[in-house]
């Protein structure tokens, strides 16, 4: 039986227990799956997950076309051609892209042809322009060509009835070009999840606004907006809420979002209202996680919509988002749920210490290309640590850390070009 908000209220009392990270991940997976599909124009489809197969309704190309600028001829008539034995052809016309030569080319004649133009009837090869010396009505060919040389055959790129792209593919720019070449203006794509971001805290001031001495600039709005977009979500709204339960509850309860992220007010302080409000408005399933940072994180549901409680400290916010909320957004958008980072196995240049019983998110920086060095840190509010870091290492809850020289899996914030990606 779900407890009420007052029964789950841990303000000024602390957590009696903390949820294991794996259990939190299982909950995310159990309550998220790809959203319905929608029609998406090609101009907006890059990065979308294709919901249905693309089946070609035509051949690409739809006709034999020249692959070179030059002269369309009968290949047999060029046999023996060379610099010291040019073979002459009478030019009977021109072929341009979209403007073919009409009629059949007689034996011993040539058609001046441009790349992409339809190959006329009666010829079966193209001599490149650099191997021809032409006047207005005559061309001398100095290289023999074989039948089919420099001709793109009908359907050689895509055959009518074939399936060049399957459902589930994350569409890339070249995919959109291929779809466009089939005359298709839009695709069925998995709908992007609409994400509401609620930033709580009386002390927060938007960047660019004047602030008082003990106020701080809001970093998490920019952080979370960028993360949501990275993971394929759309910002439904970004709202700043003072530490007033009624204002926060109204913002949480409004319809229109597929995911709700609440930054701040998730811990055990007297003004940490979000967990209790989530319990009253829906279900508070998780509050308190066995990890560092982000131990005050939590999650639940309001009318089936996942709600994530993210700590206000920026590094904790980033960590909780990446572990849990980002996974939910990626799953809802049909994307792979795993970390959206490149990873490499590298050795530690010095030991990395952790405590048994919690998962540790440890920032590291590259020490050359073969090893990494843990950053000496204290506190979850040191956002600059993620800027100085090149990536992070996740230490399992059963581990006390890793020794110097031990190989660890490093998740890199950025792709490092010097690493071999094979």
Q: Is residue 419 part of a domain?
A: no
The tally of domains found in the chain comes to: 4
Record the pTM: 0.86
Nearest to 314 by CA among 390, 222, 394: 222
Would you say residue 5 lies in a domain? no
351 and 389 housed in the same domain: yes
CA 310 to chain centroid: 23
pLDDT of residue 3: 46
Q: To the nearest whole number, what is the mean pLDDT of the chain?
A: 92
pLDDT tens digits, 159-204? 999 999 999 999 999 999 999 999 999 999 999 999 999 999 889 9
- Does any domain span residue 127? yes
**Rounded Cα–Cα distance for residues 154 and 159 (Å):** 8
- Reported as a pLDDT band with limits 50, 70 and 90, residue 13 is very low
Of the residues 310, 332, 354, the one at which a domain ends: 332
Range of the structural domain that residue 177 is part of: 38-60+170-190
Same domain, 176 and 272: no
Domain contains 180: yes
Q: What is the DSSP letter of 75?
A: G
- Whether 151 and 124 have beta carbons less than 8 Å apart is answered as yes
Compute the chain's Rg from CA coordinates. 32
Co-location of 383 and 293 in the same domain: no
% of the chain residues with pLDDT over 70: 92
Q: Give the CATH number, domain containing residue 263.
A: 3.40.980.10
Q: Reply yes or no on whether the pLDDT at 8 is more than 80.
A: no
Same domain, 80 and 130: yes
Structure tokens at 17: 């227990």
Q: Say if 337 falls within a structural domain.
A: no
Is 159 a domain residue?
Answer: no
**Residues 199-250: tens digit of each pLDDT:** 998 899 999 999 999 889 999 999 999 999 999 999 999 999 988 899 999 9
What lies within 8 Å, CB to CB, of 61 at 6+ separation is 152, 153, 154, 155, 156, 157
Same domain, 203 and 325: yes
Give the span between the Cα atoms of 292 and 18, in whole angstroms. Answer: 12
Q: What integer is the mean pLDDT of 117-138?
A: 95
Confidence at residue 377, expressed as pLDDT on a 0 to 100 scale: 64
As a whole-number percent, the residues of the chain with pLDDT over 90 amount to: 82
Q: What is the pLDDT of residues 98-116, one digit of tens each?
A: 999 999 999 899 999 999 9
324 and 200 housed in the same domain: yes
Beta bridge partner(s), residue 407: 347
CA distance linking residue 405 with residue 186, whole number of Å:
52
Calpha distance 66→60 (Å, rounded): 14
- Residues 42 and 186 both lie in one domain: yes
pLDDT at 387: 87
Evaluate whether 410 touches 365 at the Cβ level (below 8 Å). Answer: no
Statement to judge: residues 53 and 123 lie in one domain: no
Q: Tokens 């709202």 identify what position?
A: 239
């Amino acid at each position: 039986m779900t407890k009420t908000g007052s029964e789950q209220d841990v303000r000024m009392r602390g957590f009696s227990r903390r949820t294991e990270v794996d259990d939190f991940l299982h909950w995310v997976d159990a309550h998220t799956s790809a959203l319905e599909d929608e029609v998406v124009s090609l101009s907006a489809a890059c990065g979308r997950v294709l919901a249905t197969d693309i089946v070609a309704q035509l051949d690409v190309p739809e006709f034999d076309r020249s692959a070179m600028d030059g002269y369309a001829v009968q290949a047999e008539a060029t046999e023996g051609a060379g610099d010291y034995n040019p073979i002459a052809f009478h030019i009977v016309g021109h072929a341009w892209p979209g403007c073919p030569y009409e009629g059949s080319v007689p034996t011993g004649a040539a058609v001046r042809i441009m790349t992409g133009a339809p190959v006329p009837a009666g010829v079966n090869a193209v001599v490149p322009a650099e191997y021809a010396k032409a006047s207005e009505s005559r061309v001398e060919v100095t290289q023999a060509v074989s039948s089919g040389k420099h001709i793109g055959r009908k359907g050689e790129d895509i055959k009518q009835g074939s399936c060049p792209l399957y459902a589930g593919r994350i569409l890339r720019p070249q995919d959109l070009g291929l779809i466009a070449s089939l005359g298709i203006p839009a695709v069925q794509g998995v709908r992007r999840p609409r994400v509401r971001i609620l930033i709580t805290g009386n002390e927060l001031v938007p960047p660019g606004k004047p602030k008082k001495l003990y106020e701080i600039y809001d970093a998490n709005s920019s952080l979370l907006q960028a993360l949501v977009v990275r993971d394929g979500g759309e910002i439904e709204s970004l709202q700043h809420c003072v530490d007033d339960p009624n204002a926060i509850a109204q913002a949480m309860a409004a319809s229109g979002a597929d995911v709700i992220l609440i930054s701040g007010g998730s811990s055990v302080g007297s003004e940490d209202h979000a967990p209790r409000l989530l319990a009253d408005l829906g279900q508070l399933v998780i509050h308190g996680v066995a990890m560092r940072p982000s131990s005050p994180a939590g999650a639940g549901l309001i009318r089936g919509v996942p709600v994530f409680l993210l700590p206000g400290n920026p590094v904790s916010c980033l960590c909780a988002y990446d572990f849990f909320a980002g996974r939910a957004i990626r799953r809802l958008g049909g994307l792979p749920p795993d970390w959206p980072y490149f990873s490499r196995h590298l050795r530690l240049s010095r030991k990395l210490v952790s405590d048994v019983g919690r998962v540790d998110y440890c920032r590291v920086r590259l020490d050359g290309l073969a090893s990494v060095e843990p950053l000496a840190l204290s506190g979850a509010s040191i956002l600059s640590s993620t800027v100085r870091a090149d990536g992070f290492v996740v230490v399992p809850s059963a581990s006390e850390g890793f020794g110097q020289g031990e190989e660890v899996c490093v998740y890199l914030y950025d792709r490092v070009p010097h690493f071999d990606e094979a």
